[in-house]
Structure 1
Amino acid sequence: MRITHEADYAIRVTYCLALAGGKLCAKDISEEAGVTLRFALKILRKLTQSGITKSYKGVAGGYELNRAPSEISLGEIIECIDGPIAINHCLANEFQCTRVGNRRECDFHRVFGEINRSLRDQLCAITMDRFLPSQK
């Protein structure tokens, strides 16, 4: 499994907003995250649709996190952009296995499913506050 560039940038965008602790304009987010403005806007639209960020329109508009960084996980951000985490195509619901009639009887499917659950659980356990500087 490889996280797409878009999901990687979405993590960076979310981190910038977490670090700011408030509202930022898209231009500032794009510069701080190292993403083109057009790509940042595409990512911000997806993050807003999923409830990770909220947007404000108008002259004083911008974006901010919709929840505390401690409530936003890497897994949630990745799935917002890339869809459900799946290390193998046989884990997708629409996949039709040509090897066995019933996926539940397949040892490979079972093992990949266990690994996938573990990976997803680990990504969902890591929240954005982990990356913020300590408040001393």
Structure 2
Amino acid sequence: MLSKKTQYAFHALIHLAENADKGPILISEIAQEKSISIKFLENILLELKNAGILGSKKGKGGGYYLLKTPKEIPLAKIIRLLDGAIALLPCVSLNYYEKCENCRDEAVCGLNDVMGKVRDATLKILETKTLKDILTRNVSIL
């Protein structure tokens, strides 16, 4: 399940993408438009900035803006950045692997096998879908 933090990150990224022609956007505008606490949003945007997804400008006309086009921002990158592992079990995670405490042998563990397939199917979607795919879908509801 996506954390509130990741959901808010997607809402903020969508807002920035939809308003990219306006230049940098103030945190207060995003927070008000998307009903997100400014303090919580500051932390999220800072993480996205540190990861090279957003840029910021200080002073008059300042705010946050996308450094990449929506087509260049894979959903998996945002989820991993803010939530960590995408896999449902640590023993099948590609980037955050840990042996499960109760597992005797991963090689014959049926749960490991099934969850590995779930991970692969999930990644197939999340690594190919981008912020642009969300934006395209949002056009009809905004």
Contact 2:57/2:63 (8 A) holds in 1: yes
Give the distance between the partners of 1:56 and 1:110, measured in 2 at CA.
47
Residue in 2 aligned with 1:53?
54
In structure 2, the partner of 1:17 is 16
Structure 1 residue runs without a partner (length 5+): none
TM-score (norm. length: structure 2): 0.82
Aligned length in residues: 132
Q: Which runs of 4+ in 1 moved over 4 A?
A: none
What is the root-mean-square deviation of aligned Cα atoms in Å?
Answer: 1.9
Tell me whether 1:73 sits opposite 2:74 in the alignment.
Answer: yes
Structure 2 unaligned spans of 5+: none
| Paired residues for 1:1-136 under 5 Å | 2-21=1-20, 22-91=23-92, 92-100=96-104, 102-130=105-133, 131-132=135-136, 133=139
For 2:101 and 2:113, how far apart are their aligned partners in 1?
13
Name the CA distance, whole Å, in 1 between partners of 2:58 and 2:99. Answer: 41
% identical aligned pairs: 29
Give the distance between the partners of 1:3 and 1:81, measured in 2 at CA.
9
Structure 1 window deviating more from structure 2 (36-45 vs 123-132): it is: 123-132
